[in-house]
């Protein structure tokens, strides 16, 4: 495991009775150019993250409106050369005459667009509960499918083939999916109203998407991201190690991420080293980020839920 950089500070989080045992979080930030006027109104980096969110936030309650889920919405992907599907969650009180920010949610390896945004899924319930309690803002959530190839051949693909098919999402999301969402739903096209978030392999893809399309995404969430974003020493000699880009593009004052949030659990069996390596590289570039190393969590939906709670409290404020 990599040692925390000198800029780290330890945050000891108090756990509530009956909730997950006390956790510790290590946060890293680096200096960036002065914030623009729209960024100065709210500083997401000034708000502490917490990892003791109770189970009730991920459960269905009779007095909560969880919005409208549109399942298996089909659009044509020129990159895949075939139809693709997404799930679209419209917030409670949805008004087609309003304009909403949008969060693109990317699943982990082997998942699909149903993995996080689905009927009574943990993220659908979490978002509805948070919106009901005034802990987040109305937005459109899009459950993305990373598989970007001929759908009829999907079941025959090896893991190695899937890894590189998933890479094609990085272009496809900007070329095909975003134009479809922006013309079908009343969502903003401003980068400060556009976010991407993902876990594991989807966390790696979220970093790639956010940094390749800095002019289009203002918010990047990457939770226990896999190797394969930039060159690393981890999993060398395997397809996991093949980098998508040789280095992170250097943001400018005009397209620096509004909020860049990464996290990994201390019990994660795969992605501690690469997550902290991405942090160190970004710190070396002077790219501000919030990176938490959290005691007691592994590589699973319990951790993803905690991360998305923190992300949703910051997004679009």
**CA pair distance 149, 192, nearest whole angstrom:** 30
Coil, strand, or helix at residue 291?
A: strand
Confidence (pLDDT) at 29:
42
Average pLDDT of span 182-200? 98
Which residues on adjacent β-strands are paired with residue 86?
73
- Give the number of C-alpha atoms closer than 13 A to the C-alpha of residue 78, restricted to the C-beta side: 7
pLDDT at 246 over 80: yes
Residues across the chain: 317
Coil, strand, or helix at residue 169?
A: helix
**CA pair distance 184, 8, nearest whole angstrom:** 43
Q: Are 115 and 144 in contact (CB under 8 A)?
A: no
- pTM for the complete prediction? 0.89
Q: Are 139 and 103 in contact (CB under 8 A)?
A: yes
Q: How confident is the model at residue 4 (pLDDT cuts 50, 70, 90)?
A: very low
Which residues on adjacent β-strands are paired with residue 254?
none
Q: Are 298 and 265 in contact (CB under 8 A)?
A: yes
Q: What is the CATH number of domain 9-30+39-314?
A: 3.40.50.1820
Confidence (pLDDT) at 23:
39
Coil, strand, or helix at residue 222?
A: strand
Q: Containing H/E element for 104?
A: strand 102-106
Coil, strand, or helix at residue 210?
A: helix
Residue 125, judged by CB atoms within 10 A of its CB (0-12, 13-18, 19+), counts as buried
Work out the angle at residue 201's Cα, subtended by the Cα atoms of residues 6 and 302, and round it to the nearest 5 degrees.
75
Confidence (pLDDT) at 41:
80
Which residues on adjacent β-strands are paired with residue 261?
221, 290
How far is CA 43 from each of CA 14, 39, 40, 136, rounded to the nearest angstrom? 23, 7, 6, 15
Q: Are 212 and 127 in contact (CB under 8 A)?
A: no
Supply 209's token pair.
Answer: 């998407």
**CA pair distance 250, 214, nearest whole angstrom:** 9
Dihedral of CA atoms 63, 68, 71, 73 in degrees, nearest 10, equals: -170
Q: How confident is the model at residue 117 (pLDDT cuts 50, 70, 90)?
A: very high
pLDDT at 2 over 50: no
Q: Which candidate, 81, 307, 105, places its Cα nearest to that of 195? A: 105
Supply 264's token pair.
Answer: 């990994």
Coil, strand, or helix at residue 118?
A: coil
Which residues on adjacent β-strands are paired with residue 189?
none
pLDDT in tens, 133-177: 999 999 999 999 999 999 999 999 999 999 999 999 999 999 999
Average pLDDT of span 240-256? 98
How do the domains of the chain map onto residue ranges? 9-30+39-314
Residue 176 per-residue DSSP state: I
């Amino acid at each position: 495991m990599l040692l925390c950089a000198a800029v780290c500070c330890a945050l000891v989080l108090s756990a509530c009775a009956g909730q997950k045992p006390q956790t510790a979080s290590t946060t890293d930030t680096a200096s960036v150019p002065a914030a623009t006027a729209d960024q100065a109104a709210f500083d997401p980096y000034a708000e502490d993250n917490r990892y003791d969110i109770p189970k009730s936030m991920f459960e269905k309650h009779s007095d909560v409106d969880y919005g409208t889920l549109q399942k298996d919405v089909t659009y044509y992907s020129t990159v895949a050369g075939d139809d693709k599907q997404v799930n679209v969650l419209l917030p409670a009180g949805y008004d087609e005459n309003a304009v909403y920010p949008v969060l693109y949610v990317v699943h982990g390896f082997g998942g699909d667009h149903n993995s996080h945004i689905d009927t009574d899924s943990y993220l659908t319930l979490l978002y509805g509960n948070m919106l009901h309690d005034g802990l987040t803002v109305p937005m459109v959530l899009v459950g993305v499918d990373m598989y970007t190839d001929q759908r009829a051949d999907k079941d025959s693909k090896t893991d190695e083939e899937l890894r590189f098919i998933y890479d094609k999402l990085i272009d496809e999301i900007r070329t095909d999916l975003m134009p479809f969402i922006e013309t079908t739903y009343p969502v903003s096209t401003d980068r400060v109203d556009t976010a991407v978030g993902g876990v594991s392999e989807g966390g790696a893809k979220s970093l790639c998407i956010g940094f390749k399309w800095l002019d289009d995404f203002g918010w990047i969430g990457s939770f226990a991201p896999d190797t394969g974003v930039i060159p690393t020493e981890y999993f060398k000699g395997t397809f996991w190690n093949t980098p998508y880009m040789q280095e992170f593009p250097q943001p400018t004052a005009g397209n620096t991420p509004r909020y860049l949030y990464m996290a990994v659990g201390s019990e994660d069996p795969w992605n501690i080293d690469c997550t902290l390596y991405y942090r160190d590289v970004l710190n070396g570039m002077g790219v501000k980020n919030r990176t938490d190393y959290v005691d007691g969590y592994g590589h699973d939906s319990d951790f993803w839920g905690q991360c998305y709670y923190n992300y949703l409290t910051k997004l679009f404020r």
